[in-house]
Amino acid sequence: MTRHARNCTAGAVYTYNEKKRDAAESGYGTNAQRLGKDSVKSFDCCSLTLQPCRRPVITKDGYLFDKEAILQYIVTKKNEYSRRLKEYERLRKAEEDQLSQEANCRQQARMERFVDGEKPAMTPARSFILAPEQPSTSSGASSSSSSAASSSAAAAAASSSSISNMANGHEKKLPSFWLPSECPNAGAAKAQKPDGTIYCPVSQQPLRVKDLIDVKFTLLRDGDTKKSLIAKEARYMCPITHDVLSNAVPCAVLRPTGDVVTMECVERLIRKDMIHPLTDRKLKDKDIIPLQRGGTGYATTNDNLHAKEKRPMLQV
């Protein structure tokens, strides 16, 4: 291996760096990239719309949503559940009808076998005696009818044994054999009862409307009235310590009032007596909800800062 191994083109093996470079140039392989600060939402933005919240609410897991967006999400999921439930009822009814039809067919087959078993057996001599004599004048007609019957039977047998997809009445059927529903081994759809639980779009935990907690941000008193609230980079502060809130500052929400305070305030002031500093109410551990903040670009702040895009793999 030479000193400049990455630029060596005389090697007998296809090195990892050559494969990575060719994959990047050709568009094959998984594309991985580290996310920066501009690629992650801010701490006061909705996890669905990625825009600053007008009426912020928070879940028990600490994920912030705009109330209008999360309610619309819940309504959409409920409508989807209703649609899937109706489809489940239709499939279950179809399965019940099919089972009842099969049971009736089996019962009918048993009755026919019983009736056939109770019929008296006829000997060949008796059947020959009971058979009517055919006149000689109709011998030509009978032969022609027998030949027509034999020809129709032969045609039916040939059509049944045909390998064409247009035979046996299949000419009116969609010949899309590459579709999963048109495969020979494709059976009827099984009826599976849908899950009526609504899950959080971020944490995938059960979500209910009554579990949403209203959040109250305290505006920063900077005296700047020329810029709008969205245009400001520093918009909110802690109502107790008056520290500026940002993605780099860990925050928590107090459940009784919805105030957003810093985790430093929680650890140094609130957890000592477990009393709300603004209302003097007694707090519990579940009343302090850590807010899932946005990204700063540093690995110590966020865990998932790598984005991957799966593309076709280059096999050599």
C-beta of residue 57 within 8 angstroms of C-beta of residue 215: yes
Residue 265: CB atoms within 10 Å: 18
Instruction: Determine what percent of the chain is predicted with pLDDT higher than 90.
Output: 28
Residue-wise pLDDT for 252-311, tens only, equals 999 999 999 999 999 999 998 899 988 888 999 999 999 987 665 555 555 566 777 777
pLDDT tens-digit series, residues 16-35: 888 778 877 877 777 777 77
- The predicted pLDDT at position 238 comes to 92
Q: Say what the pLDDT of residue 137 is.
A: 47
pLDDT of residue 41: 80
Nearest to 37 by CA among 302, 290, 251: 302
The pLDDT of 195-223, averaged and rounded, is 89
CA 17, CA 12: separation in Å to the nearest integer? 14
What does the alpha-carbon distance between residue 8 and residue 21 come to, in Å, rounded to a whole number? Answer: 13
Judged by average pLDDT, the poorest of 143-147, 189-193, 210-214, 308-312 is 143-147
Per DSSP, 134 falls in state: P
Q: What is the pTM of this model?
A: 0.62
Segment 199-227 mean pLDDT: 86
Dihedral angle, C-alpha 150, 152, 153, 155, nearest 10 °: 120
Q: What is the mean pLDDT of residues 100-117?
A: 89
In a 13 Å sphere around the CA of 106, the CA atoms on its Cβ side amount to 6
More confident residue, 65 or 157: 65
Quick one: pLDDT band at residue 216, thresholds 50, 70, 90?
A: very high
